[in-house]
Chains A and B, each alone.
Chain A
Amino acid sequence: MKSNKHITRAEALKKMGKYAALTATSTFLLLNPKTAAAQTVGTDTGDTSGSRPGSIWK
């Protein structure tokens, strides 16, 4: 799905010098969404840092 607003690769490479082209290939963003929905924990009985909240769990 290419947009007319976007120039072709040949045009993009032509506009760039050698080093700019190399830089271009390192200017991207890899983005990972969460693998499940999450909600902020609203509890006053412990933290969510991974440690168990003590006596309540015993």
Chain B
Amino acid sequence: MHQNLLMVSKALKEKFLIWFQQSNRYLVCDTVIHSMLEDLETGISPEALIKTIAQESELELNAIQDIVNNVVELRATYLNPLDLIPQHTPKHIPETFKIERFFKVNDTVFKVSYLSELETSYLDPKFEHLNIPYSNTFDYHFKVFNEADITYLVVNDQVINGWTYKDIHYFLGKFGMELIQGIYNKPEEEWMGVFHGSAISNQKGCALLLGDSGNGKSTALALLQAAGFHCIADDFIPIAAKDQLVYPLPAAISVKTTSVPYLLPLYPELKDTKEYHLKRLDKHVRYLNPNNFNTNHKRPAKALIFIKYKPESDLIVNEIPEDEALEQLIPDSWISSLEINAKAFMYWFSKLKYYQLTYSDNDKMIASVNNICNS
């Protein structure tokens, strides 16, 4: 039986980008697949589609049947939504908490109550620089506690969710989402997505530094910041749906310990900052405060730069095709599942430029990123 999926398509330069509402999944394909999916979507049967294609092409019938069957199978995979993060509810919300922190961003005060040191260790490295002394008044009260091996987040007495240790990066993600919702007074449905990378800007433009973990995104961000660029976000890049601007998040920048000797002349404070071991990524990091945090510094991104530090490499900067950019971008991103926001994402992406940048010489990398932001 035919089951209608809401399918939204966006023509890119060479390919089509398609979003399926039912599963919030994306497909990048060419004209042939796109047009077949559209026909199937309007209710045309596979048999009728085979007949139509036989009339419009010189292909043999069995070849056409193979093609159509492949596309029907492909379409069926989109009936399956992705696995969602499980929802947990605590038996009790503790009445007393061992540790209290107060963060202030502009005029918004966040009180964060922790039951134990472990939870503070997740968040302090990123947000310690925002701490203020005790405050009688606050706008948001976050409670973080562990119950039966699940870490819970409660905001203003509403349970947001609980996460097992395996999913603790999603707890931090939700904490970041709640923080930006509070700072900018925008509920979750008003955010287009959150991208994994660093966002920087100069006087003329903003770019996102992306790429696999360990490629040196944050180190590049620290170098660019020291060269006069504005750090908008590190690790967690929120973009709002309506204006599609990158919104600043005041988290500290994590730099690999191996980069510290190169960064020390620029950031002497790194000498005495605490070191953290990120075991899963097998790297040691220190945290650097963003040097000019300003919530008004919202910027439209011009380009995605997939950056890679490679020892002794010449500077190589290439524009890359949109499908290569999407392949690297989407699996590492949270993109809102609302139709209007998915459309905003597709439009936003289509207006960008995409680069692969490999470097070993810091000055050349900085000059190149400067050119991209200026273009």
Contacts and interface: CB of A to CB of B under 8 A. Distances in A.
Given A1-B11, A25-B32, A48-B280, A37 B118 contact: no
Interface residues of A, number: 48
Contacts of B53: 9, 13
A53 B32 CA distance: 51
Interface residues of B, number: 82
Nearest to A26: B70
B176 A24 contact: no
Interface in A17-58: 18, 21-22, 24-53, 56-57
B13 A57 contact: no
Interface string B144-177: 0010010000000000000001101110111111
A44 B33 CA distance: 48
B31 A1 contact: no
Contacts, number: 199
Given A18-B63, A21-B57, A39 B31 contact: no
A22 B27 contact: no
Interface string B52-70: 0100111110010011001
Nearest to A48: B280
Given A13-B57, A34-B334, A38-B334, A27 B30 contact: yes
B196 A30 contact: no
Given A34-B332, A40-B235, A42-B123, 17 more contacts: A6-B16, A13-B53, A28-B27, A28-B74, A29-B27, A29-B28, A30-B25, A32-B26, A34-B334, A35-B82, A36-B173, A37-B334, A41-B168, A41-B172, A41-B278, A43-B122, A46-B279
Interface of A: 1-3, 5-10, 12-14, 16, 18, 21-22, 24-53, 56-57
Closest 8 CB pairs of A and B: A47-B279, A3-B11, A37-B173, A39-B172, A10-B56, A13-B57, A42-B125, A38-B173
